[in-house]
Amino acid sequence: MLQGVCDYMDAARQRQELRSDRALARKLNIAQMTITCWRRGKYPPTDTQMRMLAQLAGADEEQALVLLNIWRAKDEPTRETYRRLLQRLAGSAGVAIAVTASIALGGPPDSGQNWSVFEMISAANVYYGKFRRFSRRVAAALGSAHRLVPV
């Protein structure tokens, strides 16, 4: 999934049906050489560019910005601070998805629909898995390979 800047660019190209990095550069209103430098890892995008790239890719902008800051942080304590922030974002997203899934599925377990907590979490995982893939890069940034909402 979206593990790095290149993955965001590829996802944006696919989602926007762009044939080349040149077309992506035009869409972002930047020079093609900038895209080339991102692909080669010479330097990361700016905050504004990363936000626009996430929008084009259909990814979470907040998560993309936090990941960007993890990638460009110069020291480990700063990276750790951003990892904690990312973990908070991921936790709140999981709660929001569980609530959305419970509403879509007829309400919480005590609503008469007889949904067990396991069923709700499984439904949230299905919802999240289809519409909001949690990248391995994010999991690695958090320090362990786990899912956002455990099954």
Report the pLDDT value the prediction gives residue 76, as an integer from 0 to 100: 92
Express each pLDDT in 39-63 by its tens digit.
998 999 999 999 999 999 999 898 8
Express each pLDDT in 63-115 by its tens digit.
899 889 888 888 999 989 888 888 887 776 555 554 444 444 444 444 445 55
Q: Which of 12-21, 40-49, 65-74, 140-149 has the lowest mean pLDDT?
A: 140-149
pTM recorded for the entire structure: 0.60
Helix (H, G, I), strand (E, B) or coil at 116: coil
Which amino acid would we find at residue 14?
Q
Radius of gyration of the chain (CA): 18
- Could you tell me if 67 and 86 are in contact, meaning their C-beta atoms sit under 8 angstroms apart? yes
Helix (H, G, I), strand (E, B) or coil at 1: coil
Give the confidence band of 143 by pLDDT, cuts at 50, 70, 90: low
Report the pLDDT value the prediction gives residue 132, as an integer from 0 to 100: 46
CA–CA separation, 55 and 78 (whole Å)? 26
How is residue 23 written in tokens?
């077309």
CA–CA separation, 109 and 114 (whole Å)? 5
The region that residue 104 occupies, defined by phi over 0 for left and psi between -120 and 50 for alpha, beta otherwise, is: alpha
